[in-house]
Amino acid sequence: MTRHIQLTEQGKLKHFLTIEGLDKALLTEILDTAESFAGMSEHQVKKVPLLRGKTIVNLFFENSTRTRTTFELAATRLSADVLSMNIATSATSKGESLLDTIHNLEAMHVDMFVVRHALSGAAHFIAQHTAPHISVINAGDGQHAHPTQAMLDMFTIRQHKKQFEGLKVAIVGDILHSRVARSQILALNTLGVAEVRVIAPKTLLPAQVKTMGVIPIHDMDEGLDDADVVIMLRLQKERMNSAFLPSESEFFRCFGLTEAKLKRAKADAIVMHPGPINRGVEIASSVADGPQSVILQQVSNGVSVRMAIMSMAMHSQGVTA
């Protein structure tokens, strides 16, 4: 069902809801398309007319800064009209149902919804109930998926490592509550990396972790040994209680990334973080700001990758440049 709803009959991207069900060729097409947009920020005129006349609605039911603003910037650079809904003051907060909100916006002849929601499956639900000509992009749903973040991470890795084959990738921290980690793991395995290691205390790993195509490791030094890519995750304190870990300082001592621990990875390993960063909790400032960090590059790449995904989804609906 996932594959059917995301793709057109011709196998083109219609919605982007999850990495699951998408093949290596399509993920590579997203990365290649993003590459074509990557140099635009250096141009004097930063716009292309690919989505001129189209209306994209950002529906963010959860707070966000980087994701929402990079989607807005991406849509603007594609020459689309952008409407960002303030859900806190919208009719939804007064009791209007999610579908009522969607159908009222559809009546305004919009073309795409970018959705962030606290409930897992919200973007899928909207895609199943919206008008046939509308594309839906998942900007993060509950603890389920954050596919555009995963793809901008893949794009950043490819920029530095050129290919995925043979790479050993370590994802460190709160795997249990991370929708980003779930999407990253699917993307990394689809693109053919050699190993995906997840490093965390047992309390922060999903019960079914061994079925996810990863190697679970509980020791930081062992997990970082010979790694090509180190991805740190935020402790999602809003989704947990004190039973998950004894203290932030204890977590940092065991699982925080310091310069000393990073030496266990390869000398040319890159350090990533989807943000927002908790300095001194999951990563030391000297590493976050250090020469191996590509964290700000991830933010920049978010615009190119989201431009690629939006343009591909809209073109599958018959948009012409």
Query: 158 a known binding residue?
Result: no
Q: Is 94 annotated in some ligand binding site? A: yes
3 marked ligand binding residue: no
Residues annotated as catalytic are 66-67, 94, 116, 146
Prior bond to 276 cis, omega within 30? yes
66 is in an annotated binding site: yes
**Contact of 152 with 211, CB cutoff 8 Å:** no
274 is in an annotated binding site: no
Please state the three-class secondary structure of 175-211 as a single string: CCCCHHHHHHHHHHHHHCCCEEEEECCHHHCCCCHHH
Buried b (16+ CB within 10 A) or exposed e, 198-236: bbbbeebbbeebeebebebbeebeebbeebbbbbbbbbb
- Is 275 annotated as ligand-binding? yes
Instruction: Give the residue from 302, 318, 317 showing the smallest Cα distance to 75.
Output: 302
The answer to whether 160 is a known ligand-binding residue is no
Q: How far is CA 223 from the centre of its chain?
A: 23
CA distance 251 to 9: 48
Distance, C-alpha 318 to centroid of its chain = 26
Residue showing tokens 């897992």: 120
CB 293 within 8 A of CB 269: no
Rounded to whole angstroms, how far apart are CA atoms 75 and 113? Answer: 11
C-alpha Rg value of the chain to the nearest Å: 19
146 is in an annotated binding site: yes
Integer Cα distance of 145 and 149 in angstroms: 9
Q: Phi, psi at residue 114, to the nearest 5°? A: -105, 115
148 annotated as belonging to a binding site for a ligand: no
Residue 149 labeled ligand binder: yes
CA distance 275 to 152: 13
Binding residues for carbamoyl phosphate: 66-67, 116, 146, 149, 275-276
Binding residues: 66-67, 94, 116, 146, 149, 179, 234, 275-276
Binding residues for L-aspartate: 94, 179, 234
